[in-house]
Amino acid sequence: MDAVKLGIAGLGRGFMLSLPALRAHPAIRLAGAYDIRSDARARFATEFDAADHSTLDGLLADQIIDAIYVATPHELHAEQTIAALNAGKHVLVEKPMATSVAECAAMARCATSNGRVLIVGPSHGFDEQIIRAAQLVASGEYGPVRLVTTFNFTDFMYRPRRPEELDDARGGGVIYSQAAHQIDVVRRIIGQDVTGIRAVTGNWDTSRPSDGAYAALITFAGGAAASLTYSGYGHYDSDELVGWIGELGQVKDSARYGDARRKLASLSREDEMAAKLARTYGMDSELPNRPPHNEHFGFLLVSCERADFKVLPNSIEVFGDEVRETIAIAPPTIPRTAVVEEFASAIAGEKPPVHDGNWGLTTTACCAALAQSSQTGTVIDPRTMIQEQSES
Ligand SMILES: NC(=O)c1ccc[n+]([C@@H]2O[C@H](COP(=O)([O-])OP(=O)(O)OC[C@H]3O[C@@H](n4cnc5c(N)ncnc54)[C@H](O)[C@@H]3O)[C@@H](O)[C@H]2O)c1
C-alpha cells in the first residue's frame, strides 16, 4: 500500500518530539508543511523533499497530501483540524485536542460526518508500559481494578513558555497540557467511563500566574477510582521514584537540582521566547533519536483486588497475594511510534483506533471538569458536559 502523504501544520517542539517516529515509519511520507516561520518551512522542504506552504489553505488544497498533523499552539487546534477534515484529510491532532468541550465535540462530529480518521496524540496513554498494564487489568487475572494512584512532580512551570502557555483563559498552565496525559493514562488502564471528578487546582506563583498544580479524584462506572496529583512547580522531582528516568526516557542527573528555575531566572521575557523557539524544528535542537528507556508520566500504582502493579518505564512489578514478580517492558525502538502506528493503521482500515475524536473529547471534558470542580467545590460529571454540547 502507498505511504500516507503527511502534511505538518506547526513545526514546533511537539512536532520535534514526534519527528523520529514519523520519519522512520514505512507507512508515512513527510510531504509538506505549513508554519508561520518561513525559514523552518524551507528547511523542512529541503530535508524531506516536500512542499513548502505559506498558508494552511495552500497545504489543505495540495492534492498530494492525504493527512495533516496539527501541532500548532492549543488554541488553533479546533479551527485547523476542522478545516483539514472538511478538506478531506485525515488528522492527527496534538494533545490537548482543544481547550473547550464545545470545540472538541465539533471536531469529533466533523471527523464522523466527513468519514475521516481523527486521532488525538501522542499522550503518555500510548506508552508501552501503559498498554501492558491495561492488558493485565483487562485479563481479569488479578480481579477487578479498584484504584489507580498516580502523581507527577515536574518543573513544567519553569520551562521556557510562550505567553499563552501561562494564560489559563487560553488553555495555559498544567490542566490541559498535563492533566490530558494523566487522564489518558488512567482511562486507558481502568477502561471504564468516567462518572465524576472532584479536584482542587493550585496557582501558587504570581510570576507565572496560571494553574501549576492539581489534586483530583476520579470515579469510574465500574466502581474504580483514580487519584491524580500533579505539580509543575519545580521543587520535588518524582522521577526519583522511577530510577531517575525523565519523561522522554532520558537518564536524568539527580545532582542538577533546580536547573529549570535557575536558568529561567537569568532570562528576560524576550530571552525566554528565544529559548522556547530554540526547541522548535529548524533551530538545530536535535533530540536523542533513541533514549535508553521508555517515556513515562510519573509514579503509577494500579490496585486490583488481588495485586498491586507498580508501573515503571521499563517494567511492571506485580505485588500479588503470595508472590512478587517483575514483568520486563522492552525499551523503545523509536519513541512515539505507537501513535504513528495507530494513525497509519486506522487510515489503512486495518485497526479501529483507541484515541479517536470521541476519546479526545472525553479526555478534554475531564480536564474541563477538573477545572470546574475546583471553581465550584463540587463533583462534576464530564458526561454531562458532553451531553450539553450535543444538545446545543
Ligand atoms: N505530546 C506531547 O508530548 C507534546 C509536547 C510538546 C508540545 N505538544 C503540543 O504541541 C502543540 C504546540 O506546542 P509546542 O510546544 O510545540 O509549541 P511551539 O511554540 O514549540 O511550536 C508551535 C509551532 O507552531 C507555529 N505556529 C504558531 N502559530 C501558527 C499559525 N498561526 N499557523 C501555523 N503555525 C503556527 C510556530 O511557529 C511553531 O513552529 C501544543 O498543543 C502542545 O500541547 C505536545
Q: For the segment 225-254, what is each residue's pLDDT rounded down to a tens digit?
A: 999 999 999 999 999 999 999 999 999 999
- Average pLDDT for 2-8: 97
Pick the residue whose CA is nearest to atom 5 on ligand 1.
Answer: 14
11 pocket-lining for ligand 1 (C-beta < 6 Å): yes
Hey, whose CA ends up nearest to atom 6 of ligand 1? 14
**In the predicted structure, residue 195 carries a pLDDT above the cut 80:** yes
For range 311-331, the mean pLDDT: 96
Q: What integer pLDDT is reported at residue 35 of this predicted model? A: 98
- Kindly state whether residues 106 and 183 are assigned to the same domain: no
Number of domains in the chain: 2
Give yes or no for a contact between 142 and 67, defined as CB atoms under 8 angstroms apart: no
- The answer as to whether 15 is a domain residue is yes
94 Cα to the center of ligand 1, angstroms: 9
Average pLDDT, integer, range 343-364: 97
Is 220 found in the same domain as 78?
no
User: What pLDDT, in 10s, does the model give residues 64-84?
Assistant: 999 999 999 999 999 999 999
Cβ(72) – ligand 1 distance below 6 Å: yes
Q: At 28, which amino acid appears? A: I
Among 310, 328, 346, give the residue marking a domain's end.
328
Is the peptide bond preceding residue 26 cis, with omega within 30 degrees of 0? Answer: no
Q: Report the nearest-CA residue for atom 21 of ligand 1.
A: 12
Atom of ligand 1 lying closest to residue 176 CA: 43
Beta carbon of 76 within 6 Å of any ligand 1 atom: yes
Q: For residues 116 and 181, state if they share a domain.
A: no
Q: Is the CB of 89 under 6 A from ligand 1?
A: no
The response to whether residue 14 sits with its C-beta less than 6 Å from ligand 1 reads: yes
Q: 299 and 242 in one domain?
A: yes
Q: Which grid cell sits at 328?
A: 520486563
- Position 290 confidence tier, pLDDT thresholds 50, 70, 90: confident
| Whether 105 and 142 share a structural domain | no
* pLDDT category of residue 391 using cuts at 50, 70 and 90: confident
184 in ligand 1 pocket by Cβ < 6 Å?
no
The reported pLDDT for the residue numbered 389 is 85
Q: Tell me if 94 CB under 6 Å of ligand 1.
A: yes
Is residue 210 a part of any domain in this protein? yes
- In this prediction, residue 390 carries a pLDDT of 75
245 strand-pairing partners = 251
On whether both 202 and 303 belong to a single domain, the answer is yes
Confidence of residue 137 (pLDDT cuts 50, 70, 90): very high
Are residues 342 and 321 part of one domain?
Answer: no
Q: Residue 233 has which C-alpha cell? A: 512547580
Cβ(171) – ligand 1 distance below 6 Å: no
Q: How far is the CA of 311 from the centre of ligand 1 (A)?
A: 29
Q: Whose CA is nearest to atom 8 of ligand 1?
A: 14
State whether the beta carbon of 73 lies less than 6 angstroms from ligand 1: yes
For residue 268, being part of any structural domain is answered with yes
Do 67 and 215 share a domain, yes or no?
A: no
Task: Identify the burial level of 330 via C-beta atoms within 10 angstroms of its C-beta, where 0-12 means exposed, 13-18 middle and 19 or more buried.
Answer: exposed
Q: Which domain holds residue 41?
A: 4-123+335-355
User: Does 293 reside within a domain?
Assistant: yes
Ligand 1 centroid to Cα of residue 10, in Å, is: 6
Where does the pLDDT of residue 289 fall: very low under 50, low under 70, confident under 90, or very high at 90 and above?
low
CATH code for the domain in which residue 172 is found = 3.30.360.10
Look at residue 288 in the predicted model and tell me its pLDDT.
63
Mean confidence (pLDDT) of the chain:
96
Residue 289 belongs to some domain of the structure:
yes
Question: Does residue 165 have its Cβ closer than 6 Å to ligand 1?
Answer: no
- 33 is a domain residue: yes
Each residue's pLDDT tens digit, 14-35: 999 999 999 999 999 999 999 9
Q: How close is the Cα of 72 to the center of ligand 1, in Å?
A: 4
* 182 in a structural domain: yes
Q: How far is the CA of 16 from the centre of ligand 1 (A)?
A: 10
**Are 135 and 281 found together in one domain?**
yes
Last-in-domain residue among 293, 328, 363: 328
Whether the per-residue pLDDT at 392 is higher than 80: the answer is no
Sheet holding 51-53, edge to edge: 51-53, 28-34, 4-9, 67-70, 90-93, 118-120
Does residue 31 sit in the same domain as residue 105? yes
As given in the structure block, the three cell numbers for residue 70 are 496539527
Q: What is the CATH number of the domain that holds 93?
A: 3.40.50.720
Which atom, in ligand 1's list, is nearest to the CA of 177? 43
HEC readout, the chain: CCCEEEEEECCCHHHHHHHHHHHHCCCEEEEEEECCCHHHHHHHHHHHCCEEECCHHHHHHCCCCCEEEECCCHHHHHHHHHHHHHCCCEEEECCCCCCCHHHHHHHHHHHHHHCCCEEECCCHHHCHHHHHHHHHHHHCCCCCEEEEEEEEECCHHHCCCCHHHHCHHHCCCHHHHCHHHHHHHHHHHHCCCEEEEEEEEECCCCCCCCCCEEEEEEEECCCCEEEEEEECCCCCCHHHHHCCECCCCCECCCCCCCHHHHHHHCCCHHHHHHHHHCCCCCCCCCCCCCCCCCCCCCEEEEEECCEEEEECCCEEEEEECCCEEEEECCCCCCCCHHHHHHHHHHHCCCCCCCCEHHHHHHHHHHHHHHHHHHHHCCCECHHHHHHHHHHC
The answer to whether position 378 is within a domain reads: no
User: 95 CB under 6 A from ligand 1?
Assistant: yes
Work out the pLDDT band at 101, boundaries 50, 70, 90.
very high
Q: 36 and 107 share a domain?
A: yes
Q: Phi and psi for 181 in degrees, rounded to 5?
A: -70, -50
10 Cα nearest atom in ligand 1: 24
Q: Which pLDDT value is given to residue 333?
A: 86
Rounded to the nearest angstrom, the distance between the alpha carbon of 24 and the centre of ligand 1 is 21
Based on the domain organization, do 244 and 133 belong to the same domain?
A: yes
How much distance in Å is there from the Cα of 192 to the middle of ligand 1?
31
